[in-house]
Amino acid sequence: MQVRGWRRKAVALLVLSVLAALAWGTMNSGKVRMLVFVLLGGFALRILLTAGRQYDEEENPQ
pLDDT tens, residue by residue, 24-37: 999 998 999 999 99
- Model confidence at 4, pLDDT cuts 50, 70, 90, reads confident
Buried b (16+ CB within 10 A) or exposed e, 8-38: eeeebeeebeeeeeebeeeeeeeeeeeebee
Write out the residue range of the structural domain in which residue 15 sits. 6-49
41 lies in some domain? yes
Is the pLDDT assigned to residue 50 strictly greater than 90?
no
43 lies in some domain? yes
54 lies in some domain? no
**First-to-final CA distance of the chain:** 26
Q: What is the pTM of this model?
A: 0.72
Q: How many domains does the chain have?
A: 1
